[in-house]
Chain A
Amino acid sequence: MEQLNVYASRLISKKEYFAPGHRACQGCAEALAVRNVAKALGSNVVVASATGCMEIISSPLPFTNWRVPWIHVAFENAAAVISGAEAGTKALVRKGMLPDLKTVFLGMGGDGATSDIGLQALSGAFERGHNFVYVCYDNEAYMNTGIQRSSATPFGASTTTSPAGKMKHGQFTWKKNMAEIAVAHNVPYVATACSSYPFDLIEKVQKAASMEGPAYVHILSICPTGWRIPPDRAIWIGRLAVETGVFPLYEVVHGKYQMTLEFPERRPVEEYLKAQGRFRHLTPDMIQRIQRRVDIEYKRLKSKEIFEEIW
């Protein structure tokens, strides 16, 4: 957050490219993230969206909330679709059939579309090195279909397919670390962001777009409906996720890790968990396990900061 200061909000464009009037739930911080990503990139962009909440709330025929060129094909292929759009445009520009506008190509999808069903397509697009930005809006479950677990659902969270019952206590696996998977592809830019920190988010998306080659931004996007919190708590919960270290904000530029927001002391994870209905059933024992895990992962992440740029 290099340029963050009290005037930051004045520097942000007032123009909206993701128009108001969409059909997201009240307090949806995923829609807020989409709005800010669109703001960050402006009008010179082509967007490919995966099936999911954000697609459904913004494109009921014959209406659209998109003021920029936008395409939706299916659930698992946003990365492949955007790589086709990028490659097609590249060919047409090279052959002199279109002027070179230096358009940004943006692929986007939810955590399910990204870390589960669309992981292969994303991996392929990363590996082929297309010049595109991929944004994952991580609300930690398949919200569009009714709050089913994904591989990004955190340990202990109750969802409709990882319900807290008499024998089981919600999600039984630890959250898949999608940002690290992106890093493993040696793409030039990877960052995490959260809609509770809009300036940081906008800056990271713009940085991602400025990179030559694939860039990945993983955005924690609080979903009041699925997380079972009041709609006016989404921003606060996002801040807690960051302040507890559950979701650290960092970027990896050409292999070099850099924390983007740190606190002298992290708040206890319990504060974050207790505020959400999806963790209501957690026992003190489980909360402790989660705290330990968060501590370890945070330490690990910090330890990576010492490495210099690697390419």
Chain B
Amino acid sequence: MGERVGLEVSIAAAEAVKMANVDVIAAYPITPQTHIVEHLAEVVADGELDAEFIPVESEHSAMSVCCGSSAVGARTFTCTSSQGLALMNEIVFITASMRLPVVMVLANRSLSGPLSIWNDHSDVMSIRDCGWIQVFVENGQEVFDHIMFAFRVAESQKVSLPLIVNVDGFILTHVIEPVEFWDAETVKNYLPPFKPVNRLHPDNPVTMGAFGMPGIYTETRKAQDSALIEAKPEILKAWQEMADLTGRHYKPVESYHAEGAETLFLTMGSIGETVSVAVDELRAEGKSVGQLSLRLWRPFPFEEFRQAAAGAKRIIVLDRAVSMGGQGGPVATEIRSVLYKEKNMPVVTNFLCGLAGRDVTVEDYKAMFEKASKMSKRRVREEDYILYGVRE
């Protein structure tokens, strides 16, 4: 293994991209993603990385350039946040349907309006159904590891799908953390060179992006959905091999004191570590509580999730985005349907919290636990969706 250094997580992310020896980087600056692109521009300018750094005029073009470069078989990276993701939205969906293994770091930030540069998950939830593999990480080490993982999984010929690594803006991108780098040998063992299934090349002309009439569109969608679902074995394999190489074990659903716990928190991303502290303190008070963290968001790990949640009486889902006019948070809505008709289905209580960077402390999570404990255990009700801490 490489050395362990303390550095800003954005820089660690860029360094991982450098070590993955990408061929093309196309990105447009937006807070809080900027340090990642800036550092990549630097390493290219210094000749530390031999790549084309393409300073596009918009995120829409960033993703379009990525489609072009990935289609010729170049290892391709981009990163963005919030409005940038919204602007590239159209192409994000197409990238997946064309099976182009672009890797994106999404420095999660709230969507306007009002304009806000701070962290929540409203950006990624807006593209939930885009067909990319989507993972969430909690700390700097996980960011570094998952960039290697991202290229490895996305470019695998069995997968050939784009992949998003969700990294909470500021809360994670801008903090300094200890990160154990991989040495070149480990990278080489883990990440083979990119060999695309097809590439745009005069020696073997292919047509990419043909249009679908009603007689064939449904079949293309089925094929794409199957491809995403069938990516899971490769995802698990990539984590297993990473564990063999680095000693760090990652799972689709991480659990913390979950076994036998009556109540489970469900987290995604960087709030997970704070919630773990709350779990420790609650357990010290004798409460039967544990935690699940969803690392793999797409393809959704149904089996692993149901298994991890089995036996719990209540699940407190912490959502970082509002599903306007709907049932609260997008994650809770989904979790309820995942658990529907399970034997002894747990009550799913939904707190929306930490919107646009609003601080949520250990005390807050403990308060949520208390509040949830007093709520009906019988069935899901509308009031089980609570915008935590809102001033009315």
Contacts and interface: CB of A to CB of B under 8 A. Distances in A.
Interface of A: 43-46, 48, 55-56, 59-64, 66-74, 76-77, 80-92, 94-95, 97-98, 101, 103, 120-121, 123-125, 127-128
B90 interface: yes
B216 A121 contact: no
A85 B64 contact: no
A98 B72 CA distance: 10
Given A84-B66, A91-B74, A97-B193, 7 more contacts: A45-B202, A69-B201, A81-B68, A88-B69, A88-B72, A121-B58, A125-B61
B57 A95 contact: no
Given A60-B211, A124-B61, A74 B94 contact: yes
Among A55, A82, A87, chain B packs the most CB atoms within 10 A around the CB of A87
B339 interface: no
A70 B72 CA distance: 11
B11 interface: no
A70 B201 CA distance: 9
B186 to A, nearest CB: 21
B209 A46 contact: no
Interface in B53-89: 54-58, 60-61, 64-74, 76
Nearest to B55: A128
20 contacts: A45-B202, A46-B201, A59-B210, A63-B210, A68-B202, A71-B208, A72-B208, A72-B209, A73-B94, A74-B94, A76-B60, A83-B68, A85-B69, A89-B72, A92-B74, A103-B201, A103-B202, A121-B58, A124-B61, A125-B61
Interface of B: 23-24, 26, 50-52, 54-58, 60-61, 64-74, 76, 90-91, 94, 98, 193, 200-202, 204-213, 216, 220
Contacts of A81: 64-65, 67-68, 71
A213 B74 CA distance: 21
Among A82, A83, A84, chain B packs the most CB atoms within 10 A around the CB of A84
Contacts of A95: 23, 50
B74 A73 contact: no
A84 B54 contact: yes
A80 B61 contact: yes
A88 B24 contact: yes
Among A56, A81, A82, chain B packs the most CB atoms within 10 A around the CB of A81
4 smallest CB-CB distances across A and B, nearest first, come from A84-B68, A88-B74, A88-B69, A124-B57
Given A44-B202, A59-B207, A103-B202, A87 B69 contact: yes
Given A46-B202, A121-B61, A64 B210 contact: yes
B133 to A, nearest CB: 20
A128 B64 contact: no
A173 to B, nearest CB: 25
A89 B74 contact: yes
B94 A56 contact: no
Contacts of B57: 120-121, 123-124, 127
Contacts of A60: 210-211, 213
A59 B211 contact: yes
B91 A74 contact: yes
A80 B205 contact: no
A76 B69 CA distance: 17
Contacts of B26: 84, 87
A43 B200 CA distance: 12
B90 A71 contact: no
B213 A61 contact: yes
B207 A80 contact: no
B72 A92 contact: yes
A85 B100 CA distance: 13
Contacts of B24: 84, 87-88, 91
A129 to B, nearest CB: 11
Among A86, A98, A124, chain B packs the most CB atoms within 10 A around the CB of A124
A128 B202 contact: no
B202 A69 contact: yes
A94 B52 CA distance: 10
Contacts of A71: 67-68, 71, 200, 207-209
Nearest to B88: A77
Contacts of A123: 57
A84 B65 contact: yes
A61 B76 contact: no
Contacts of A77: 60-61, 64, 67, 91
B202 A84 contact: no
A46 B72 contact: yes
A127 B73 CA distance: 24
Contact of B208 (A70, A97, A124): A70
A85 B213 CA distance: 27
Nearest to B195: A97
Contacts of A72: 208-211
Among B57, B210, B212, chain A packs the most CB atoms within 10 A around the CB of B210
A143 to B, nearest CB: 16
Nearest to A44: B202
A282 to B, nearest CB: 36
A66 B211 CA distance: 14
B72 A85 contact: yes
A84 B76 CA distance: 10
Given A61-B212, A128-B55, A88 B98 contact: no
A123 to B, nearest CB: 7
Contacts of B54: 83-84, 87, 128
Contacts of B204: 69
A126 B28 CA distance: 17
Contacts of A83: 54, 65, 68
Contacts of B61: 77, 80, 120-121, 124-125
Nearest to A125: B61
A91 B70 contact: no
A61 B64 contact: no
